[in-house]
Amino acid sequence: MSSKNGKPNGQSFDLSQTELKKLLKKVPSDIQFYINHLEKQVKNLAEIGLSLSKEKDMNVLLENILLEAKRITNADGGTLYMKTDDNRLRFEIMMTDSLKFHMGGTSGQDIPFYPVKLYEDDGKPNKHMISAYVGLTGETVNIPDAYKAKGFDFSGTKAFDEKTGYRSKSFLTVPLKNHEDEIIGVVQLLNAKDKKTDESIPFSTEVQDIVEALSSQAAVAITNKNLIRDLEILFESFIKLIASAIDAKSPYTGGHCSRVPEITMMLAEAVNESKNEHFKDIHFTDKQMYELKIAAWLHDCGKVATPEYVVDKATKLETIYDRVHTVSTRFEVLKRDQEIKFLKRQLKVEKDSSLSELETKNALKDIRKKYREKITQMDDDLDFVKTTNVGGEFMSGDKKDRVKKIAKYRWKDNGESKNFLSDDEVKNLCIAKGTLTAEERKIINDHIVHTIDMLQQLPYPNHLKNVPEFAGGHHEKLDGTGYPMGLTKDEMSIQAKAMAIADVFEALTARDRPYKEGKALSMAMRIMGFMKNDAHVDPFLFELFVKEKIYLKYAEKYLTKEQLDMD
């Protein structure tokens, strides 16, 4: 009698290991061998699935899939195809053991064959080739003997055999389907071998089932790998999009966003290869290198929040436009007023009948002289303002006094008498160095605060969790005088220190700044040497920067011939 659940009444199917072993001993040897074989295959599939999920290199992953399929079936050869976006099957790996033939994958040898078309030129499905048929239908095709098979075109196979002396016989072609049941590739195995005689035999139903199971695992592993790759590409593209946005917003910093990562990674690679005692315990893994690259690309992302008129401030008077043109117009108004006064005085003298001819002549001469002196002075003052506006040299005290003197000139604006220069214009023209006021410089410096705030809001995976710290620390200095946090050398990561060197060197040598010319290589290195001595940049990293001639490798790619004045 049996119970409703199918188990014998009063009995249980639960067996101890000892009882199971005793039971198996009673099983005929051939069946026991089959069971052991299946257990081994299941165990192998589990191990294969784990190893495939861990593999990072796509070439190695694909090759492992084909090798495992060959091992399971004891096949002499095999080909792995991947489906392309234009509906073709691209050859990824080909190998035939007896011919010592291996192309694609990790072989380093390119496969010279064109991809297999899934559709003919007239749009009809290509079902006469096995790989294309499987790639279209998702059905497994098991051919015991290609020379006796019907319905498929084996002319290429036969031509290959005739040329090489090989005998292609059995074929097992299995689709690779992802989790959405989409066909992403095809595995084709050639000539299963009898383990005793080494003769070619058909692929059994048993091994076909196992290869299909392997193909499912393989497709999942490939899909996961592709998804991770696609996400990384999307992430990096988004990062570069931010840099492009900064580039579009300000052509003077966009190049900086793409060049700093290059210097940073060159320096990081040099650290990895260095035998210097200071770097002996430092080695960046691939994940850490990727994390640093992402941080370098994002190091100035906060500039998207910085006003354009500050980022692009090429002259002292520039806001949305350069106000020096407004000042020039005012000078023209002053000159016009002087001309009117001159003409009125001249006319008055000419009409004065009480003056002798000589007195009239002398008076007119004096009026013209004073007029020319005024105009010359105004032209000189305008040239001075234009020169001062550039901000290319230190603003001394006497120059500031002259600005303030010019500011007190009176001119009429719509009939209202005003000082020639506003207080804000005087303040900007008296900037001691560069083109930024203290307030504007703070706005510029605050870009790093915006950078940190923006980056800290992103949900990073573990291998990118340090991006905000690396990106946000490139304006810190070893002596604690940097910003925004005033970190000291012991509080800074080596990644942030490397990025600081890259940031300064790129800025010194950049040729696309509106407010300065790119410095010659020798001058840039001299300035950085001073910064090293003043504890503004890391001395060990800077010495590596010099020793490995990273400065020169970068300069040869990005600097002009005129800037390359050292080797």
Long-range contacts of 274-280 (CB under 8 A, 24+ apart): 274/544, 274/548, 276/540, 276/544, 278/540, 279/540, 279/544
Count CA within 13 A, CB hemisphere, residue 142: 13
Q: What is the pTM of this model?
A: 0.66
Q: Residue 105: which region, alpha, beta or left (left: phi > 0; alpha: psi -120 to 50)? A: left
Instruction: Give residues with Cβ within 8 angstroms of 376, minimum separation 6.
Output: none
pLDDT at 255: 78
> Residue 40: pLDDT above 80?
no
> For 127, how many CA atoms within 13 A lie in the half-sphere containing its CB?
8
Residue pair 499/470 in contact (Cβ under 8 Å)? The answer is yes
Say how far apart CA 117 and CA 101 lie, in whole Å: 24
Q: pLDDT of 302-346, one tens digit each?
A: 888 877 777 777 788 888 778 888 889 888 988 888 898 899 988
CA distance 554 to 508: 13
Q: Which residues on adjacent β-strands are paired with residue 2?
A: 8
Residues counted in the chain: 567
User: Could you report the per-residue pLDDT of 395-429, keeping only the tens digit for each?
Assistant: 889 999 999 999 999 988 888 898 999 998 999 99
CA quadruple 478, 480, 482, 483: dihedral sign: positive
Q: How much is the average pLDDT of 464-473?
A: 94
Predicted local confidence at residue 3, as pLDDT: 39
CA dist., res. 411 & res. 420, Å (int)? 6
Percent residues over pLDDT 90 in the chain = 54
Could you say which DSSP state residue 81 is in?
E
Residue 274 banded pLDDT, cuts 50, 70, 90: very high
Measure the CA angle with vertex 439, ends 530 and 324; round to 5°: 95
What is the per-residue pLDDT for 216? Answer: 85
Residue 472, both tokens? 């946000």
| Strand locations in 106-182 (E) | 116-117, 141-143, 171-177
Cα three-residue angle 438-421-418, rounded to 5 degrees? 140
**Is-contact 522 565, C-beta < 8 A?**
yes
The one-letter amino acid code at 177 reads K
Q: Report percent pLDDT > 70 for the chain.
A: 87
What is 36-227's CATH number? Answer: 3.30.450.40
Decide: 382 and 334 in contact? Cβ < 8 Å. Answer: no
The type of residue at 2 is S
Q: What is the 3-state secondary structure (H, E, C) of 472-500?
A: HCCCCCCECCCCCCCCEHHHCCHHHHHHH
| Structure confidence by residue, pLDDT tens digits, 187-203 | 999 999 998 999 999 99
CB atoms within 10 A of CB 179: 10
Measured in whole angstroms, the distance separating CA 303 from the mean position of its chain's CA atoms is 18
What would the pLDDT profile of 43-67 be if each residue is shown by its tens digit? 565 566 556 666 677 788 888 889 9
pLDDT of residue 480 exceeding 80, the answer is yes
- What six digits make up the tokens of 110? 């390119």
Q: How far is CA 562 from the centre of its chain?
A: 29
Q: Which residues contact 560 (CB under 8 A, 6 or more apart)?
A: 511, 518
Q: State the Cα–Cα distance between residues 322 and 412, nearest whole angstrom.
A: 21
What spatial distance separates the first Cα and last Cα of the chain, rounded to whole Å?
96
3-state secondary structure of 519: coil
pLDDT 10s digits, 511-525: 866 556 789 999 999
**Which has the closest alpha carbon to 257: 297, 288, 224, 209?**
297
Question: pLDDT tens digit string along 95-153?
Answer: 999 999 999 999 989 999 999 999 999 999 999 999 999 999 999 999 999 999 988 99
Contact in structure between 257 and 248 (CB atoms under 8 Å):
no
Please say whether the dihedral angle defined by the alpha carbons of residues 383, 389, 392 and 393, taken in this order, is positive or negative: positive
Contact 263, 205 (CB under 8 A): no
**88-96/75-83 β-pairing:** antiparallel
Q: What pLDDT is attached to residue 2?
A: 37
Instruction: Give the DSSP letter of residue 179.
Output: T
Torsions phi, psi for 319 (to 5 deg): -125, -110
**Tally of CB atoms within 10 A around 285:** 10
Query: For the residues 448-464, what does the mean pLDDT come to?
Result: 91
Neighbours of 214 (CB within 10 A): 26
Backbone dihedral angles phi then psi of residue 159, each to the nearest 5 degrees: -65, -40
In the CATH scheme, what is the code of domain 252-301+465-558?
1.10.3210.10
**Does 5 score more than 90 pLDDT?**
no
- Count of CB atoms within 10 A of residue 290's CB? 16
Q: Determine the Cα–Cα distance for residues 72 and 405; give it in Å rounded to an integer.
A: 93
CA separation for the pair 274, 400 (Å, rounded): 51
What is the per-residue DSSP string for 26-43?
TS-HHHHHHHHHHHHHHH
Which tokens is 492 given? 């800074």
